[in-house]
Amino acid sequence: MIEAIVLEQLAFRYRPNDAPIFEALHHSFPRGAVTAIVGASGAGKSTLLYVLGLMLTPTHGSIRWGEWSVTGRSDRERSRLRAAHIGFVFQDSLLDLGRSALGNVMEAALLSGLDRRIAEKRATRLLQRFDVAHRANHRPGELSGGQAQRIAMCRALVKEPEILLADEPTGNLDTDSGDVVWNAFRAAADQGRFVIVATHDTSRLHLADEVVRVPM
């Protein structure tokens, strides 16, 4: 069992001549904790989540899952690790516009290798939990911003990922829906998952087990 996600000497820049977004970063994210990532707009919160989510490759340094280095793996293997172990809530939801809400959640479940019957059961339950079951058959273009954001949460949670990464997941939500989302983070962490959330919502930082400020 992986005890921590460890960053060592981690650096990232988008282009060779650009200034680094971060460098010489060291941090250990503990299992079973909610970590909030905070910092000014443009500070690099989303970038750090993309690197943690194996969508961007660090320019330097390493990411370890326990003793096991995930940097330097092939694109194919990183895609496989992502589908199997990482749930990601994107800052702008990033739903598939051609699929219904239910279809979006089901797709993530099926890609992670779940059987269709289990995928549908879990997806339906999550849509109920996030109070969007009545929009199950609607496409993203027919949803409000907050509904899309809640469906993005369902999409990330449906495969019950070891690692849950969420980028401003409550930006479009009212207090009640925001509470449901943060309760879901707490529950996921209490089940022993890694939960890392970039947020501007300072009113909820007391719900995180640790707060990390970027630039670190």
Ligand X SMILES: Nc1ncnc2c1ncn2[C@@H]1O[C@H](COP(=O)(O)OP(=O)(O)OP(=O)(O)O)[C@@H](O)[C@H]1O
**Interface with Mg ion (CB under 5 A), residue from 35, 46, 104, 170:** 46
**Interface with ligand X (CB under 6 A), residue from 5, 10, 21, 136:** 21
The string of DSSP letters for 134-182 reads GGTTS-GGGS-HHHHHHHHHHHHHTT--SEEEEESTTTT--HHHHHHHH
**Interface with ligand X (CB under 6 A), residue from 12, 29, 46, 188:** 46
Helical spans, DSSP H, in the chain: 45-52, 75-85, 101-111, 116-129, 145-157, 175-190
Site for ligand X in 57-116 (CB under 6 A): 91
**Interface with ligand X (CB under 6 A), residue from 7, 10, 45, 86:** 45
What angle do the packed helices 101-111 and 116-129 form, to 10 degrees? Answer: 130
Residue 90 vs 119, nearer CB to ligand X: 90
- Shortest distance, CB of residue 46 to ligand X, whole angstroms? 3
Q: What is the DSSP letter of 14?
A: S
Residue 13 vs 139, nearer CB to ligand X: 13
47 lies in the site for ligand X, by CB under 6 A: yes
Residue 23 region, left (φ>0) first, then alpha (ψ -120 to 50), else beta? beta
42 lies in the site for ligand X, by CB under 6 A: yes
Residues that bind Mg ion (CB under 5 A): 45-46, 91
Which residues would be at the binding site for ligand X (CB under 6 A)? 14, 21, 39, 41-47, 91
